[in-house]
Amino acid sequence: MDIDKTLWERPEKTGGNMETLYKPARTFAQDVWFRFWRRPTAILGLGLIILLIVFAVAGPSFTSHRYSDQDLSFVNIPPYFTAQEYGGRYFYISQNLKLIEVSGEGKLIANIRAQKDDGQKKRIAFAVDGITLEIDYAQRPPILTDGPGGRIINRPVFFWNKTYLLGTDNLGRDLLTRLMYGARISLVVAFIAAFVNLVIGILFGGISALAGGYLDLIMMRIVDIISTIPLTLYVILIMVLLNSGFLSIIIALSSVYWVNMARIVRGQILALKEQEFVLAARTIGSSMGDILFRHLVPNAIGPIIVTATMLIPTAIFVEAFMSFIGLGVSAPMASWGTMCNDAIETFRISAYQLFIPSAAICVAMFAFNFVGDGLRDALDLKKEP
């Protein structure tokens, strides 16, 4: 078979192909970012995380409500409701059989005081500027009538709640504001716990793998003992001892969730410590600390970063679960878990109070998992970019 020898000749350096021939190579960080950027789910997760951080940090500055403000006049008001138009005015019957006047823009004006509640006829009378309106709650759903025995008012108008964009809870607190402060709690706890677990896991796993022998055996048996009991149970026991609170959650999560990180770091360093560059570092007299932090950890940074990223959604979920069962932040501080707990009482009539914080937890966990998966693929140089 004849092969054209011109295919093996060195290309000539001309103005048109100089950039192609001498294109600078990407660094490791640039290559990781290039591979990460080509994964749509990873970019989506990164965008959601940025939006979540902005929502938590800057969001409360743009609302006039506080997470602890209560307005019992507007209890269990959904973000979207149907009002009845009467005489150019709009009236909404709340879940608690309150008559609330609404402006034409969807803002809540006032909770009209009831004049009479007839339990036998199941009617509640309200006086509105000399006019009597009644709620007949014998019907399902309750109806609004024009006075005793009057005609049924059936001119529905749909409104978005402009006063409380995501509605109110059973104490009249703004769900949007509480969601913002809950995001602060969840993100702060998650990032601090992930950082502490990262540091402890690298130190514990690195020292265990590098030292070897009986020290490695003893340190890994400690990890096995901790792993035999569910980590959530450890967190509950620690929080019971330290009492509920924000600091207790961080201490509890930072105390036990480093075991997976330690195992991963140990496995990576065991695979690297017999490499030639480590033997060369020992030959020139490098200390154990230099070998660990200047040679081994940087070469194992890929799995470490991915594991640290996966720790964040785990911490968010555990914090929400602890707050849900009453071991998290104390009232009236807002947390996604406490919001879910408060919504259990009114779930049948106001399901949105449970769905909104639950959706926030799901979005946060999906976002960090998407980023973690993207980093895992981007740091795996064996895969095609």
- The full set of domains in the chain, from first to last, is 80-160 (no CATH), 175-379 (1.10.3720.10)
Query: For residues 55 and 173, what is the distance between their CA atoms, to the nearest angstrom?
Result: 18
The H-assigned helical ranges of 212-275 are 213-228, 231-242, 246-256, 259-272
Of 93-97, 122-126, 179-183, 296-300, which one has max mean pLDDT?
Answer: 179-183
The reported pLDDT for the residue numbered 19 is 52
The reported pLDDT for the residue numbered 120 is 80
pTM recorded for the entire structure: 0.83
Query: For residues 234 and 227, what is the distance between their CA atoms, to the nearest angstrom?
Result: 10
- Contact residues for 263 (Cβ-Cβ < 8 A; gap 6+): 205, 223
Q: Which helix (H) or strand (E) holds 105?
A: none
> Are 164 and 73 spatial neighbours (Cβ–Cβ below 8 Å)?
no
Beta strands in 298-348 (DSSP E): none
Range in 129-143, 189-203, 232-246, 301-315 with the lowest mean pLDDT: 232-246
Q: To 5 degrees, how large is the angle CA 337–CA 40–CA 35?
A: 115
